Amino acid sequence: MRTSPVLTITVAATAALAGPLTPPPGAPAPTNKTLRQVEPSTPVDTLPGDATALHIISEPGAYHLTGNIEATNLDRIIQITSTGVSLDLRGFRVRGDATVDAIIESNNISITIRNGTIAGGDDFGLRLNATGHIVEDITFSGAGAFFNQDGVALSVGFGSRVSGCVFTGSGRVTTGDAVLIENCTFTEARNALVLGNGCVARDVTIDGGLDSGPEAVITAESGCMLERVSIVRSFRQAVFAGLHTSIVGCSFTNDSSASSASRAIGVGRGAVVVNTRIDRFGTDGIRVGADSVVAYCTITTLDGTAIGAEGGAVIDRCTLSSVGIGVVGERVIIQDSTFTACQRGALLDTESIVQSSRFTNCVTEGLAVGFGSAVRDCIFRGGSTGVTVAMGDCVIEGNQFDSQPLTVSSSDSVIDGNTFTDPNTGALTVPSAGNLIIRNRFSSTLASVTNIGSGNAVGTFTTNPATAGPCDNLRF
């Protein structure tokens, strides 16, 4: 059999074209560039401007800086007049003085600005007025605040995202609706954030620089969420927000002295404040509107009220200590919460419920409740006054008073199944008529531990539990 000449030639040619099979020495290394490095990009310094702007970007696409840019006596340094522009500062700085109104500005949609520094400017640092923008990894240094911090470092429109930015001695950040602010840091900030409806601020740290003033550090419209936001060293109110605000996992603290702000948090109806800590921040801690929830929060060292709540609010599993008043409200539910060393534990008006909570060493008063309220399964220990019931139709049931008195100065209330340990004279005082007093227990056989007026329905007082009736009160 003869070998095909065509096949011989093909194999020989293939062998001649093949490269060496032995790999080069050393570990393999990537040779490709990133997409950002290879995509077409235009240097901004090659673009002309006009009488109002140093450079104008008028076409969509990618642009970048090749060095720092500084300018004076202009409305803006870079003006973007096209949609769909991506501007990479590549670590460089764009700076203007007090004669520059805005450093970078655009009135078009879908603008991306990243990776560099924006400094100076009289009124604005970066101003993106339309929608759908991305601002990431930008340092704002004195932006929008050439003379003071009352300007705007960054303004973005609806549906934008701001991520990984640093604001140092700059003006505020203002947003349209549905904007995400995440992983940002503010230092020497006054009113750092002004948020539209439905915005989210997440993983944000703000150092107020011990500044004071009437505006809040964060002002938000309705439906916003603040998640893992930390504010320190500010004598301003921390948060002032609208309806249905959520504040989750936040911290508002001052290290050395109590803040002179009116309060740390003020939010509207239907708010949720969860797992948040307030320490020496504001005269008052939290003020929530009706139908709100405050849960798993810790509030310490305030001169005023830790939590002020309107009708239908729920206070659940909160820890309040060293405050003027723990909770003030009407038609409020408090459950599984702890009040320690408060001047007064809670002052509650009509139809409130307090259950499974502990009041320890409250100085003036543990708890005062109004008409139609209920106090169940709570512990009152230390201090001078346990519970005061000034209005009728209340239920005081299943509580433990450890050296603490219960005073009911109204009618039509039920005092049932409470325990008084180490009671003093007048541990149970009921001067008014028309109340039901049954099944209570006193760790003293002295009749003086009770001071009950005539006209009440009172279970028989006995010292023998073996012969006690189902509604008898027991002294032991």
**DSSP labels for 344-367?**
EEEEE-TT-EEES-EEES-SSEEE
d(CA 430, CA 448): 13
CA dihedral 186, 188, 191, 196 (to 10 degrees): -10
- The pLDDT score that the predictor gives to residue 34 is 57
Q: Quick one: pLDDT band at residue 19, thresholds 50, 70, 90?
A: low
DSSP 46: G
In the chain, pLDDT over 90 holds for what percent of residues?
71
pLDDT at 346 over 60: yes
State the burial class of residue 30 (Cβ atoms within 10 Å of its Cβ: 0-12, 13-18, 19+): exposed
Place 259 in a pLDDT band, splitting at 50, 70 and 90. Answer: low
Contact present, 360 and 341 (Cβ < 8 Å):
yes
pLDDT digits (tens, 9 = 90+) for 261-276: 668 999 999 999 999 9
Q: 72-109: buried (b, 16+ CB within 10 Å) or exposed (e) per residue?
A: eebbbbbbbebeebbbbbeebbbbbeeebbbbbbbebb
Residue type, 196: G
On whether the CB atoms of residues 313 and 327 are closer than 8 A, the answer is no
C-alpha 205/C-alpha 267 separation (Å) is 20
Q: Say if residue 155's pLDDT is above 90.
A: yes
Answer whether residue 147 shows pLDDT above 50: no
Cβ atoms < 10 Å from Cβ of 4: 9
Distance from CA of residue 74 to its chain's centroid?
39
| Mean pLDDT confidence for 134-155 | 81
The answer to whether 405 and 385 are in contact (CB under 8 A) is: yes
Extract the tokens encoding 381: 């220990």
User: Which tokens in the block code for residue 352?
Assistant: 């409130």
SS3 146: coil
Q: How many CB atoms lie within 10 A of CB 25?
A: 5
Mean pLDDT over 364-371 rounds to: 92
Rounded mean pLDDT, 119-129? 90
pLDDT greater than 90 at residue 257 = no
Report d(CA 199, CA 184) in Å as an integer.
15
**Local confidence band at 20 (pLDDT 50, 70, 90 cut-offs):** low
Q: What is the mean pLDDT of residues 82-94?
A: 97
- Indicate the average pLDDT of the chain: 89
**CB-based burial, 326-337: b 16+ in 10 Å, e otherwise:** bbbbbbbbbbeb
Tell me the Cα Rg of the chain.
34
Rounded distance between C-alpha atoms, residue 308 and residue 337, angstroms: 15
Using DSSP, how many helices (H) and how many strands (E) does the chain show? Answer: 2, 52
**pLDDT for the residue 8:** 42
**Is 50 exceeded by the pLDDT of residue 177?**
yes
Work out the average pLDDT over 140-169: 84
| pLDDT digits 0-9 by tens, 30-69 | 555 555 555 689 999 999 999 999 999 999 999 999 999 9
Structure tokens, 229: 């936001």
The two tokens of residue 304 are 């005023």
Structure confidence at residue 196 as a pLDDT band (50, 70, 90):
very high
Nearest to 360 by CA among 388, 381, 376: 381
Enter the tokens of residue 284: 């008052």
**CA 189 and chain centroid, separation:** 17
Of 29 and 471, more confident: 471
- Tell me the per-residue pLDDT of 197-218, one tens digit each, with 9 for 90 and over: 999 999 999 998 767 667 889 9
According to the model, what pLDDT value does residue 137 have? 98
Strands (E), 330-453: 333-335, 338-340, 344-348, 353-355, 358-360, 365-369, 374-376, 379-381, 387-389, 395-397, 400-402, 406-408, 414-416, 419-421, 428-430, 436-438, 441-442, 450-452
Query: Residue range 126-145: average pLDDT?
Result: 91
Predicted pLDDT of residue 190: 78
Q: How does residue 413 score in pLDDT terms, banded at 50, 70 and 90?
A: very high
pLDDT at 450 over 50: yes
Which of the residue ranges 78-92, 178-192, 223-237 has the most confident prediction, judged by mean pLDDT? 78-92
User: What average pLDDT score do residues 133-156 get?
Assistant: 82
